[in-house]
A and B are shown apart, each in its own frame.
Chain A
Amino acid sequence: MQLKNILNHQVHKPSKQSHFNPRMKKMKWLTFPYIIWMIGFIILPLIMIVYYGLTTKTGGFTFENILLINDPINRKALILALQLSLISTIICLLLAYPLAMILSNAKMSSNNFIVLIIILPMWMNFLLRTIAWQNILERTGILNRILDFLHLPTLNIINTPAAIILGMVYNFLPFMVLPIYNVLIKIDKDVINAARDLGANSTLTFLKIILPLSIPGVISGITMVFVPSLTTFVISTILGGSKIVLIGNVIEQQFRLGNWHTGSGLSLVLMIFILFSMAVISKYDKESEGNLW
């Protein structure tokens, strides 16, 4: 049931009084399009992936596709993907938390503006923005030309893990800022005042009150950055060149080669990793609620 918990963090907790009254029952047919959508585009594809992942080309049952993760190349790609997405998640968290704090304390008019600025890049195509970074970081790109002009040593970031991390942080930072900001603004100012009133200085108030109360937002932020980072193949293709292969690239290649069984098997492995890491996070969440002192 831990997965359900995580989902509840993302979508704000459903209200307890959402029981259906008789009139609502009549409106039930309104849900049919959604049910059809979910069956056709979520459940069916999932079943297909599980089916392809667990069968051979002749249709027989096998674990071989899944065990292909043990292949040195695949394993290396998975470990690298885990490392890079973990690092970029941590960087996002470290950048986003103070920003969300500043935003939640700012005056109403100015904070709407800053939130807009954070969301604004998301209105432009994700692919375009990543290609823009490629142009900036290239050996003869904008950044190096500026450094060269200033007679500073040029940087060689493109096609390195650092470039991929930069791309991940740049693209996914808003997904970390917004959930944290959302929980922070919902903390009653008087709860913070109460902590101060009872003798806590601002550091203690942050550690004992604000931080624990913001954990749900941190967790949804982590999930929303870590999961797309782990599965991405676009960022690694554009900013990592062909040298750096993440698990997302491996899976993409398998499907391109028409190797649906292997691709699905590796996807299943990735899904298991995601479920596992989310379970660990949400377990930590529950423990932290209990033992604050």
Chain B
Amino acid sequence: MTQNKLINLCNITKSYGDTLVLDDLNLYIRENEFLTLLGPSGCGKTTTLRIIGGFENPDRGNVIFEGKDITKLPPNERQLNTVFQKYALFNHMTIAENIAFGLKIKKKSKAYIQDKIKYALKLVNLDGYENRMPNSLSGGQQQRIAIARAIVNEPKVLLLDEPLGALDLKLRQDMQYELIRLKNELGITFIYVTHDQEEALTMSDTIVVMNQGYIQQIGTPEDIYNEPQNAFVADFIGESNIIAATMVEDRLVNILGTNFPCVDTGFGRNKPVDVVIRPEDIDLVEPEEDIITGVVTSLIFKGVHYEMEVLANGHEWLVHSTDLSPVGSKVGIKVDPFDIQIMNKPESEDEQATEIVE
């Protein structure tokens, strides 16, 4: 991946009335990157996208695109295109007219436009739909037309605002693969907004986790999943056990009265921390001494695995395992040292905002 910063957001602040939506946001997007803004509703991810697209003006801060300040530029003068949440197709035009809209404004030749329509429809697997009206298409098809309409303009960046939100699960998964394929074929930068963590993990090169107008963590999907930097990220990305604990010393953490070896260092002695343990990283073993033991309180079959809750040392541990432990059985809880993720407790007020609000 090239390291060129294509878009740079500097100190973006935006509020609606008294509500602060974005507070001093800084973010850069590299060329050819699939970057996802991920967060719960109201976290500011869509506002960020709309500021990049030019549909909103930030109260403060600058949007830099290829080194030029485009903060004040209207959307029609920006070299990027958007795929809207509810497709926003022009219902009074045919599919071909929809796709040709941007090209006709740019006064491209008829032959060029025809070629582009054909090419774009092929790309989204909808050849032959030129003369249909948008209303006669299914949601998934309309979404693909919206993508086709955007990419024929050969934008440097494609902005996607929860484009798969209205589709059913199966279609959504298919579209995820199509989007990855499209991105690889077109070689353009994607900025994708979603509240669906699975979608974000599947497609992104980089994930930006946001909450209440602040960026919580930026990283690769693996980073975000395996090493969440705070309780919010850990909780939002996948299921997890988040437990208040004490860092006894380097490589040793005390969780609910029992010492666990871990791999983290540098937190200091007897420092209160939060630990994150993913449910699939917990092994249920025969009860032994020196480890936490508890009783299985619930058991649900989830298809790929069983989901169990184990009450041990006053905490409900969420456990995913392909091995079944019946309700009522006594089990020991074992976690490998590298599966324990240690996080600092929030200190400042800004960080307080990152507390889980859901």
| Contact partners of B105 in chain A: CB under 8 A | 198-200, 204
Within 8 A of B (CB), among A179-224: 188, 190-191, 193-201, 204, 208-209, 212-213
Do residues A193 and B75 form an inter-chain contact, with CB atoms below 8 A?
yes
Cα A190 to Cα B83 with chains together (Å)? 10
Is A293's CB within 8 Å of the partner chain B? yes
Size category of the binding interface on chain A: 20 to 34
Taking a contact as CB atoms under 8 Å apart, the answer to whether B76 and A199 are in contact is yes
Residues in B whose Cβ lies below 8 Å from that of A292: 92-93, 97
Verify if A71 is at the interface (C-beta below 8 Å from B).
no
With A197-B75, A199-B102, A200-B105 given, is the CB distance from A190 to B153 under 8 Å? no
Chain A residues, CB < 8 A from B88: 188, 190-191, 193-194
Q: Does A287 contact B (CB under 8 A)?
A: no
Interface string of A158-191 (1 = CB under 8 A from B): 0000000000000000000000000000001011
Q: Mark A109-128, 1 if CB is under 8 A from B, else 0.
A: 00000000000000000000
Judged by a CB distance under 8 angstroms, whether B68 is at the interface is no
- Chain B nearest CB from A169 CB (Å) reads 29
Q: Do A190 and B84 form a contact, CB below 8 Å, given A197-B75, A199-B102?
A: yes
Q: Tell me which of B54, B81, B86 contacts A198 (CB under 8 A).
A: B81
Chain B: minimal CB distance from A276 (Å) = 26
**Is there contact, CB below 8 Å, between B76 and A200?**
yes
Report B60-84 CB contacts with A as 1/0, cut-off 8 Å.
Answer: 0000000000000011100001101
Interface size class of B (residues with CB under 8 A): 20 to 34
CA distance A188 to B90 in the complex (A): 10
Q: Is B101 part of the binding interface, using a Cβ–Cβ cutoff of 8 Å?
A: yes
A196 to B150, CA, bound (A): 12
Distance, CA A197 to CA B146, complexed state (A): 12
Contact between A198 and B149, CB atoms less than 8 A apart: yes
Give the chain A neighbours of B97 by CB distance below 8 A.
Answer: 292-293
Query: Given known contacts A292-B97, A293-B104, is B153 in contact with A198 (CB within 8 Å)?
Result: yes
Scoring A193, A194, A212, A293 by chain B CB atoms within 10 A of each residue's CB, the highest score goes to: A194
Residues in B with CB closer than 8 Å to A201 are 74, 76
Minimum Cβ distance to chain A for residue B64 (Å)? 19
Residues of the A chain whose Cβ atoms lie less than 8 Å from the Cβ of B86: 188, 190
Q: Decide yes or no whether B85 CB sits under 8 A from chain A.
A: yes
Is the CB of B55 closer than 8 A to any CB of chain A? yes
Give the residues in chain B near A289, CB-CB below 8 Å.
92
Cβ-closest chain A residue relative to B155:
A197
The reply to whether A194 and B84 contact each other, CB–CB distance below 8 Å, is: yes
Smallest distance from the beta carbon of A16 to chain B beta carbons, Å? 11
Known contacts A213-B92, A292-B93, A195 near B82 by CB under 8 Å: no
* A-binding residues in B (CB < 8 A): 53-55, 74-76, 81-82, 84-86, 88-93, 97, 101-102, 104-106, 149-150, 153
Given contacts A198-B105, A201-B74, A204-B105, 6 further A-B contacts (CB under 8 A): A190-B86, A193-B82, A195-B101, A197-B81, A199-B105, A293-B97
Q: Can you spell out 18 A-B residue pairs with CB atoms less than 8 angstroms apart? A: A188-B88, A190-B84, A190-B86, A191-B90, A193-B75, A193-B84, A194-B89, A196-B55, A196-B75, A197-B75, A197-B76, A197-B82, A197-B150, A198-B101, A199-B102, A213-B91, A292-B97, A293-B97
